[in-house]
Amino acid sequence: MLQHTNLMGTEQELAILFSDVVGSTQLYEKLGDDMARETVQQAVEQMKRATTENNGTVIKTMGDEVMATFENVQDAMLAATAMQVMSHESNEVSERAVRVNIRIGCHYGHVVAENNDVFGAAVHTANRLTSQAKASQIVISADSVERLGADWTESLRQICTVTLRGQSGEVALYEVLWSHEDTISMLPEISNVMPAIPKVSKLRLRFQGQEVVLGEDKMRSVTMGRADDNDVTIKGNLISRLHARIELKRTHYELIDQSTNGTFLHKDGQEDVYLRRDFAILDGHGVIGLGRVADAESPLAIEYVLED
């Protein structure tokens, strides 16, 4: 697990998992406050127990929702499966009126851990994946699938590609089949669930005569900031030591801000984008500004071009 400490907190790569009770508002209307609260709390306690029993950390609970982190995706999926099994078993012995279902979303990526909480683009993505899940469903991103072992192949199926809020490109979503019946029914269809990684164009960065090329010689990421150990070092009073980075994903490049003052992105022919602890997909040609508006005429501007 990658871990880096700066003044703002500890940067890590973690699996972020959100789980929540489906239709809790209707439950309160149907059962009344006291019984609905007790029913929801029982589900939340099951989700928390499944987290701790599978090496996870409960970050916080928010009404009918639990946010948790795990050092690897395998543990996160074991916890997610345990949550769904517990919910199913509870429903089997409960009266129909008090049965509840849960939905789960998970994404693996960079976060900043600070004051017993985590922040960053990966957290937003995990939360948005949860909103894509249906009752009794576990939905994970392609980035998470890449980090699961071969033992999970027969429990996965790609369900769709969507454009999540805050992202300009499509994201492949996978469902983790947690019940034995679902897994058996999918066996003939999932032999190709792990598609070959498509060829991605090179991304060329230019700054003050320096040039860095991603996608060449297995270079998959670049860090930018004022510290000398960055791949692209830029000095400026608004620039953090480790300000931002660019990562090659399966099908695209992501610009990820992790700074105090934010990162500005100008894409040719598009509106400027401001990122703070968030990310954007790079395409075409444009300019990146660290801590200040991206201006092609500025000596601190980083030019990028995605080559065909």
Q: What are phi and psi of 105, to 5 degrees?
A: -130, 145
Cβ 70 vs Cβ 76: under 8 Å: yes
Question: Taking 70 as the threshold, does the pLDDT of residue 69 lie above it?
Answer: yes
Kindly state the tokens that stand for 298. 């500025």
The pLDDT, as a whole number, for residue 200 is: 67
Instruction: Give 88's contacts (C-beta < 8 A, 6+ positions apart).
Output: 136, 179
Least confident of 119-123, 164-168, 299-303: 164-168
Is the pLDDT reported for residue 48 higher than 60? yes
Q: How many Cβ atoms sit within 10 Å of the Cβ of residue 216?
A: 11
Window from 98-102, 130-134, 158-162, 213-217 with minimum mean pLDDT? 158-162
179: closest CA among 62, 288, 82, 296? 82
pLDDT score of 82 more than 90 = yes
| Longest pairwise C-alpha distance within the chain | 70
At 300 the pLDDT is 93
**% of the chain surpassing 70 pLDDT:** 86
Q: Which of 69-73, 176-180, 221-225 has the highest mean pLDDT?
A: 69-73
State residue 247's pLDDT score: 87
Cα separation of the two ends of the chain: 33
Residue 162 has pLDDT above 80, yes or no: no
pLDDT at 165: 60
Top mean-pLDDT range of 79-83, 139-143, 257-261: 79-83
Q: pLDDT per residue over 259-281, tens digit each? A: 888 899 999 988 888 888 788 88
> Given a cut of 50, is residue 195 above it in pLDDT?
no
pLDDT for the residue 308: 67
Domains in the chain, CATH or no CATH each? 3-189 (3.30.70.1230), 203-306 (2.60.200.20)
**Assigned token pair, 158:** 């790609």
* Average pLDDT across the chain, whole number: 83
pLDDT > 90 fraction of the chain, expressed in percent and rounded: 36
pLDDT tens digits, one per residue of 200-243: 689 999 999 899 998 866 678 899 999 888 889 999 999 988 89
Cα–Cα distance between 40 and 50 in angstroms, integer?
16
Mean pLDDT computed over 15-31:
86
Task: Give the pLDDT of residue 169.
Answer: 59
Question: Which residue spans within the chain are E strands per DSSP?
Answer: 3-6, 9-21, 57-62, 65-70, 102-114, 117-119, 138-141, 156-162, 171-176, 203-207, 210-214, 221-225, 232-233, 244-248, 253-257, 263-267, 273-275, 279-282, 285-290, 302-306
**Residue 14: predicted pLDDT:** 93
pLDDT at 156: 86
> Rounded CA gap, 303 and 175, in Å?
38
- Which is higher by pLDDT, 206 or 180? 206
Residue 104: predicted pLDDT: 94
pLDDT band at 122 (very low <50, low <70, confident <90, very high): confident
